[in-house]
Amino acid sequence: MSIGLYIHFPFCSKICPYCDFYVLRESKAKRTAFLSYYEKELKLLSERKQELFSQKLETIYFGGGTPSLLEAGQFAILLKLTKKYFAVFSNAEISLEANPNDLLGNKSEAFHRLGINRLSIGVQSLNENELKALGREHSARQAAEAAQNVRNSGFENFNIDLIFGVPGQTLISWEQTLEKAVKGRPAHISTYSLTIEERTSFYKLQQAGKLQLPPDEICQEMYLRGVEFLEKEGYGQYEISNFARSGFQSRHNRNYWQRKSYLGLGPSAHSFFSNQRWANVRSLPIYQRKLDAGQPPREFEEDIDQRKAIEEALLLGLRQKEGIGLENLKVEFGYDVEKEKGALLNRLAVQNFVQKENGRLRLTPLGFYVSDKIVSELFP
C-alpha cells in the first residue's frame, strides 16, 4: 500500500491580494518553531493512527505558503524526520512549491542535492504590469532567470504556474505569457483562472467597485486558447488546469483526483485515508496549542458514506481529461450515472459540455471552463 504526504508551510514574505490559502507573514523565528511542530504532529499521529504509518510514501509535497523560504538544512531535517516515521519509495516524487526569487541563488542546486526532484514555481505571469496587479515580488526577467537556474541545477521536472483573468490582462498579453513560458522549457505548466475569494484583498476591492477584471467571455477565450496552444506545443492536458510533457504529470495531484490516500500535516492541511477525511485547524496558534496539549489539531473529520463517495468519484473524475469509466462506476459503487442523470447528460452533450466515448464520460474543453456549473447541476 502507498500514500502521499502533504506538508503545509504557512508562511510567505508577502501575502498576495488574490490568495485564499492559510498563510502568515514569515519570520526566521516562526520558521524554526514550525519545524518542531511538524515532528509533534507526526509523533502524535503515529501513536493514534498506526495503520497510516504502515503505508509507504509514493509522493511528498511541500506546499504553502512559500516553503522555498526554508533553508536547505531545514529541508534536510524535514526529510530525515519523514523517513524516521515512513518508508519511502526509492523513486518517490518529492515536490516543492517555490517563488522565483528564492531560486535565483544556489538554493535550487541545494534542493536538488537533498533529493527534491520536482519544483513548482509560482510565476503567475510574464507581464510586468500583471505581476504588479497580482502583488508579486518578482519581475518577468527574474522568473525567466529562475527557470534557467533550475534547469542548470539538474531539475528535469519543474512546473510553472500561470494565472489568467488578471486585472488589465488581454488575450494578447495572455498569449505572450504562454509563448514566453514554453521557451523556458518546463516539463509541466498549470493555468488557473483568477477566482475572487471572500478572505482576500481582491474581494474587498471588488466589493468596493475598485477591481476591474476582464469580462467572462474573454476569460473563457483565454482558457480555450491556452488549451489549444499548450497542446500544440507538446503539453498534453490531463486535468482542467494542468498540462505536461509525456511522463511528467504530477503524481501527487493525480493521486488526489483518483481518490487515493494522502496525509496532510500543518495548519489547514487535509487528509483522506480508509474512507475518512479530516482537516487541521486553519490557525497556527490553535494548531500549536492543540499539539502542545497532546491533542490532534483537527478542524473536522467525517466518514465518507456511499452517496458522498459517488459524488467525489464523479467530481474528481470529471476534472481529469480521461474522464470517468462508466462501467467502473457501476462495479465500484453500483451507480449508473446515465440512468440517474440521463436527461441532464444529454442536454450537456448538446451544449458541447460533455461527451461519451469508448465507455467513458468526459468534459470537453468548454465543459472544463464551466465545470463548477456542471457539478452544481449534477449534485444540486
pLDDT digits (tens, 9 = 90+) for 170-184: 999 999 999 999 999
Q: Residue 30's pLDDT is what?
A: 82
Lookup result for grid cell 468519484: 313
Judge whether 34 and 77 are in contact, CB under 8 Å: no
Domain 2-256 homologous superfamily, CATH: tm_1862 like domain (3.80.30.20)
Which of 233, 234, 240 lies closest to 254, judged by CA?
A: 240
Query: What CA–CA distance (Å, rounded) separates 91 from 56?
Result: 12
Q: Residue 380's pLDDT is what?
A: 67
Q: Is the pLDDT of residue 272 over 90?
A: yes
User: Residue ranges per domain, the chain?
Assistant: 2-256, 306-378
Burial (CB count <10 Å: 0-12, 13-18, 19+), residue 363? buried
Degrees to nearest 5, angle at CA 139 with 137 and 141:
150
**Helix or strand holding residue 376 (H, E):** helix 371-378
CATH number of 306-378: 1.10.10.920
Q: Is the pLDDT of residue 220 over 70?
A: yes
% of the chain surpassing 70 pLDDT: 100
Q: Give me the mean pLDDT over the 263-272 stretch.
A: 97
Q: Is the pLDDT of residue 29 over 90?
A: no
Q: Is the pLDDT of residue 190 over 90?
A: yes
Q: What is the DSSP string of 3-51?
A: EEEEEEE-EESS--TT--S--EE--HHHHHHHHHHHHHHHHHHHHH-GG
Q: Name every residue whose Cβ is closer than 8 Å to that of residue 185 and which is 6 or more positions away in sequence.
A: 147, 151
Could you give the 3-state DSSP secondary structure of residue 233?
coil
Helices (H), 97-170: 107-114, 128-133, 140-152
